[in-house]
Amino acid sequence: MQRCLREGKIHAILTEGMFENFYSGQSTFFELGVMLEKDFDFCGFTSLKFSGDKPNKLLWVDALFTIKPKELS
């Protein structure tokens, strides 16, 4: 993916970010966001999933990043 990013080939990324520590060695949303913000603009969340049994426990989010929002408007 590194070469694709370097070449500016990818114009938008819709990615899942996890808050719950479910997998060993997983990337959290904030780690992903900080990395992607170097090349992309953060547009917002497209979905949020809260735990059903624990109040205010955020499990995961989907977030949209775009590289050239002006071109698409």
Residue 64 contacts other proteins per CB under 8 A: yes
CA–CA gap between residue 51 and residue 68 (Å, rounded): 34
Residue 48 contacts other proteins per CB under 8 A: yes
Give buried/exposed letters for 13-33 (b at 16+ CB in 10 A, else e).
bebebbbeeeeeeeeebeebb
Residue 33 contacts other proteins per CB under 8 A: yes
- Kindly list the residues in this chain that would bind other proteins in the complex (CB under 8 A): 1-4, 9-16, 18, 21-27, 30, 33-34, 37, 41-48, 50, 55-56, 58, 62, 64, 66, 72-73
